[in-house]
Amino acid sequence: MHKNRRPKSEIRTTGKPKARRSKSRQSWFKSRWNTVDAYFDSLLVPEDDALEAAVGESEAAGLPAIQVTPTQGKLLHLLARSVGARNILEIGTLGAYSTICLARALPPGGRLITLEFSPKHAEVSRLNLSRAGLSEIVEIRVGKAIDSLPRLAAEGRSPFDFIFIDADKRSNPDYWAWALRLARKGSLIVIDNVVRKGAICDPASDDPDVIGTRRMFEAIAAEPRVSATAIQTVGSKGYDGLAVALVVSD
């Protein structure tokens, strides 16, 4: 035995076991993310009765608590305003939290169409939009988005200046293709939940949501008509991210 090496039986470990330390570290990060979100909310996102009521109504109806955060909703609002959006399309309504944020970015005469698969979710959304005073400028279409999108094209409702995709992720390639078809030069397309807690970088994933989102990114990367990027986010909703694509040519 090496003269400077003690027998294993004599070696004493200090501190917490690795697994326990890792779990404690994760809890610390999540707590800090929540605290930072609360700090930004308090300074940059004023309390909003309509949005708070939308969250409460959605919770009471049993909708999943997967709506965007207040700061994310404010980001969508600012992005829509920054491109002067007058015609907005949202794919995935849920309880209309993001819908309210986007609709408030519209100028007089602007319109927003939001697509929702669930009749229950659509009913809750109508209540929330009515409370927010936005029923007259927002149209909810109920049914599969993949069926509603061709109808929008046939009706001549495009082009849309701003498109937000936040529905079932396995269908992201189809939603992306239709979003591009319904856009114009200068339109901005935003896709939520694209990091999947980091699983997006795993080519061997068998998760349909990861597979769908990876296929969407491959289509975006191969599309010469757009300039796009993606960012990772952390916050009260955990670890995820979003993609942003600007249509730069027809």
Residue range 9-31, pLDDT digits in tens: 444 444 555 556 677 877 888 89
Instruction: Find out whether 63 and 95 touch, Cβ atoms under 8 Å.
Output: yes
Which distant-in-sequence residues (6+ apart) come within 8 Å of 157 by Cβ? 87, 113, 182
Share of the chain above pLDDT 70, in %: 92
pLDDT at 17: 56
Output the pTM of the full model: 0.89
Burial class (CB within 10 angstroms; exposed 0-12, middle 13-18, buried 19+) of 20: exposed
DSSP state of 137: T
Q: Extract the tokens encoding 192.
A: 């939520």
What parts of the chain have a pLDDT lower than 70? 1-21
DSSP state of 84: T
**Domains along the chain with CATH numbers:** 49-247 (3.40.50.150)
pLDDT at 7: 46
